[in-house]
Amino acid sequence: MDREDMRTQVRDIIGEDAADFWSDAELNRYLTEAQYRFLGEANWPWCMTETTDTLESGDTDIPLTEGAAFARTINFKFSTSETTRPYQPTRVSAAKGFELSLGYMPGTTGTAPLYFYIVSVDDDDDDGEFVWVARFIPAPASDMDVSYQYFRDGNVLDADDAVPFLPGKYHKGLVHHAAGTAWLKELNGGPKAQEQFELYNAVVDQAKREMFSDPDDDHMIMGHDDPQYDSVYGRPDYWQMRIPETLGP
């Protein structure tokens, strides 16, 4: 569904076909807020994205792609024409990264960066705006090819044909959350809002179950006489099967 379709469904729930008590602008904001909330509920695989860049010799910063969720998992992989095996630097907090940088004299370079942290810096346009960058320690001695994974942070639903960053079967969750937020504006609308938020949570729970489900309904067999799961204990919990968020050593 696009924004217009979802807004129409919200109006069906709140019982107001045309803008009156609730304006279209309000409902549009509620839908955008619902999308950001939904995307923050888990590390959804359909929000994981990969891109490439270059870290030049002596440089420390790579601006993050617009829309990258800087506070969530980001995996960097470095390689050069001289290296036979790519590797990953270790992410540290901004405070720890600043401390580690004190161990290198200005202008010092290394074979390749060992650490990185995420920090916001002025965009140099003198407009008070800041951009997020990945800052690496130490700066590389030669140009390095970089590929990295990140989670998309959602998009602003700023047009009626805008579509959220989640599968269509979960769009109903955004409708319920937006309708619940709308009910909070009405006097004594709390119980109605709570009902919609519970429906939203049900969609989130469904999405999580489907994300961690095994597509094979039969028990997995590792070998002729080596069953991984048995009839007594059944399948392990989903957290035992999930892919780790940080790759490499």
Q: Rounded mean pLDDT of 112-123? A: 89
Count of alpha carbons within 13 angstroms of residue 200, beta-carbon side = 23
61 close to 134: Cβ distance less than 8 angstroms: yes
pLDDT of 92-103, one tens digit each?
999 999 999 888
Reference 93, options 110, 70, 60; nearest CA is 70
pLDDT at site 17: 93
- The one-letter amino acid code at 160 reads D
Across 34-143, where does the E strand assignment appear? 48-55, 61-63, 75-79, 90-91, 109-110, 115-122, 130-137, 139-140
Report helix, strand or coil for 171: helix
Give ∠ CA 60-64-66 in degrees, rounded to 5: 155
Q: Per-residue pLDDT for 51 more than 60?
A: yes
Residue 247 is predicted with a pLDDT of 52
- pLDDT interval class at 82 (50, 70, 90): low
Give one word for 102, left, alpha or beta, with left for phi > 0 and alpha for psi -120 to 50. alpha
Cα gap 186→15, rounded to integer Å: 12
What is the full DSSP assignment across 174-218? HHHHHHHHHHTTSTT-HHHHHHHHHHHHHHHHHHHHHHH--S--S
Directed axis angle between helix 24-39 and helix 3-14, to 10°?
Answer: 110
Is pLDDT above 50 for 217?
no
Whole-model pTM? 0.71
